[in-house]
Amino acid sequence: MWRRITSRPARLLYLGILVIVIVPGIALRVEAALFERRVLKVVSALSSLRIGVTPKAEVISRMAGIKIDESSRGNSEGNSLVMGSRGVCDADECFWIEVSSPMSYVWGLHVFGSVDSKTMFSVLNLWGFQARSLDAHVNLTSGKVSSLGYRLILSTAHADIPGALIIKVSSRKNLTDWELDHVADESPNYRVSHYFKWPALSTNIDFTPDAPTEVVSHAFDLKLQCVWS
């Protein structure tokens, strides 16, 4: 038995299995690390913009190296996001930015859709097959930033609904549409809320132009080592 399991054909089999497991795992983590790098670059650029102040030329300058799609008022970009869709441009100009992990997501979309076992789902997730996407927008009115925001989606290691961590950050003219409570009273220009069904997986952050910069900065301070670790 020992001679069989240590024979040359057996060793080649072990090496083949090792390569099949390790090489995709490394490739997927490299892709995830690149995703983290691109996301942090986009979010850092967003955090440097000031609503009602930053002009279009400065927006383009700070977004240097980032692929931007543009549209004008009334135009819709359709269903082009990996895990979502763009809406209709409601400003003079709208800049759209997308960051995704196509290799992981496209393959995982087919595999995850056919996997019934929660254990297998978790194994594939640990292997590196995870859905990841960021879509961001910057709207301009009269040549200056009028609103901005982003949505980050990361699949979790569990197949249970919703199966993803979702963070959405949006600027608003005001937060008067919120129900008055002690939190809103203490911070009328910055609001953090969670969807009641999955508070640990769904976070919304809304802020107005009057919100203190040091407070708003927290909404753009992402820690994404988890996508490749």
In tens, the pLDDT along 17-46 reads 888 888 888 888 898 999 999 999 999 999
At which residue do the structure tokens 């090489």 appear? 23
Q: Which amino acid is at 210?
A: D
Pick the most confident of 59-73, 131-145, 176-190. Answer: 131-145
Q: How far apart are CA 170 and CA 2, in angstroms?
A: 63
Closest CA to 150 of 97, 190, 212: 97
Q: How far apart are CA 208 and CA 105, in angstroms?
A: 34
pLDDT of residue 164: 85
**By mean pLDDT, which of 47-61, 62-76, 125-139, 205-219 is the weakest?**
62-76
Give rounded-to-5 percent helix, strand, coil for the chain.
Answer: 40, 25, 35
pLDDT of residue 3: 84
Q: Which residues contact 33 (CB under 8 A, 6 or more apart)?
A: 227, 228
Q: How far apart are CA 108 and CA 31, in angstroms?
A: 14
167 beta partners: 152, 203
Model confidence at 103, pLDDT cuts 50, 70, 90, reads: low
User: What is the biggest distance separating any 2 CA atoms in the chain, rounded to whole angstroms?
Assistant: 79
Q: How far apart are CA 148 and CA 209, in angstroms?
A: 11
DSSP character for 158? -
